[in-house]
Amino acid sequence: MSTVLVTGGAGFIGSHTTLLLLEAGFEVVVVDNLSNSSIESLHRVEALTGKSITFYQTDIRDKAGLTEIFAKHKVDSVIHFAGLKAVGESNEIPLEYYDQNIYGTVNLLKVMESAGCYRMVFSSSATVYGDPASVPITEDFPTSATNPYGRTKLFIEEIMKDLSASNDRWNMVLLRYFNPIGAHKSGQIGEDPQGIPNNLMPFISQVAVGKREKLSIFGNDYPTPDGTGVRDYIHVVDLSDAHVKAVQKIGALGGISTFNLGTGNGYSVLQMVETFIKETGKSVPYEIVERRPGDIAECWADASLAKDKLGWTAVHGLSEMIEDTWRWQSQNPDGFK
Ligand code: NAD
Ligand code: UDP
């Protein structure tokens, strides 16, 4: 049975991907320092699947620790989620972002190379498109970054391209996520942000569950149909499914490939709030405030390349994304605590 090592596997997207990998018959080794997650997520994945996970509480910057793990397990592929991901925080502590995201990834790649493991699927982001000139976005659009977090994604993509060009044993897949939301249908695992959520969906659901007073909508004067920002929200289970397909096809794809992971549909902030209210029957008080610096007006994916090459397409619609988010949030108002 083939073994996948998942860095950041206790986190939001990592825990859902671990669940799908186990269901698809892979052995899973998770490496996570638990800086932004709880081991409880993996206990729940084990309970849901009836399968066990090998877990190491290890930092991806710990070379000796990683080397030992690769010596113990014959790892076929790595799915690399681990890293810091808050845009605002990255402006305040850029060195921490460069250290954990970039140095951490270089360290991981070196250990993989020494261990003879040459397959990596990496979590990139639509943030690498900066402020796109048009929508929908295809993978060949120009890339840029406006903050240290985005720069770490861009640099890591470049590092992986250089590595792939240096030795054709390397097989890499760069997955550029649009806006992941939703949760597993069981309501047992989901997104559990520490402190005040930065992202729209967890903020809306915390308002609905009574943990926050009201949502601040960042600007209603964008050049969009209702003036609020438009994004391509994608169900985390669809996103996770693309990782399973990427691992299954990475050898056949060869070299390095880049795929957008989105639904191809854009929804505004007001549409998200209205659909949430309709689907859950909860009230979501909100006020319009200033634009958030660095935000773009609209962004959605052309995901046809992933359909052609990975045989992947998103199947969950917005109502299901919201229903599943709400099941998780209402059953676990304090997350995994
Ligand atoms: P998350 O914070 O829930 O998961 C990341 C996991 O990595 C956490 O469990 C954390 O404890 C672990 N981790 C962080 N630094 C580590 C380190 N130095 N060593 C070992 N483990 C470490 O985040 P997520 O939403 O699941 O995101 C996963 C990946 O996807 C990240 O790389 C993120 O940048 C990327 N991404 C996320 C989104 C999003 O909106 N959620 C969008 C685009 C890209
Ligand atoms: N947004 C908002 N209030 C919030 C959080 C987000 O109005 O508290 C808006 C934000 O301006 C953007 C959309 O919701 O138009 C999605 O924001 P998120 O931070 O979730 O994703 P990203 O900006 O990274 O696409």
List domains and CATH numbers for the chain: 3-182+233-263 (3.40.50.720)
Q: Are strands 179-181 and 233-235 parallel, antiparallel or unpaired?
A: parallel
pLDDT, tens digit, 9 for 90 and up, residues 202-254: 999 999 999 999 999 999 999 999 999 999 999 999 999 999 999 999 999 99
Q: Is the CB of 203 under 6 A from ligand 2?
A: yes
Torsion of CA 163, 167, 30, 72, to 10 degrees: -140
| pTM reported for the whole predicted model | 0.98
Question: Which residues does 83 contact at the CB level (< 8 Å), separation at least 6?
Answer: 8, 60, 100, 101, 104, 105, 123, 152
pLDDT for position 1: 76
Cα(267) to centroid(ligand 1), Å: 24
Q: Which ligand is nearest to the CA of 239?
A: 1
Q: Which among 247, 243, 237, 302 has a CA at the least distance from the CA of 81?
A: 243
3-state SS track over 180-207:
EECCCCCCCCCCCCCCCCCCHHHHHHHH
pLDDT, tens digit, 9 for 90 and up, residues 137-194: 999 999 999 899 999 999 999 999 999 999 999 999 999 999 999 999 999 999 999 9
Does 149 qualify as catalytic in the annotation?
A: yes
Q: Which among 150, 233, 146, 237 has a CA at the least distance from the CA of 187?
A: 237
Atom of ligand 2 nearest to the CA of 222: 15
User: Is pLDDT above 90 for 286?
Assistant: yes
Catalytic pick among 56, 118, 129, 149: 149
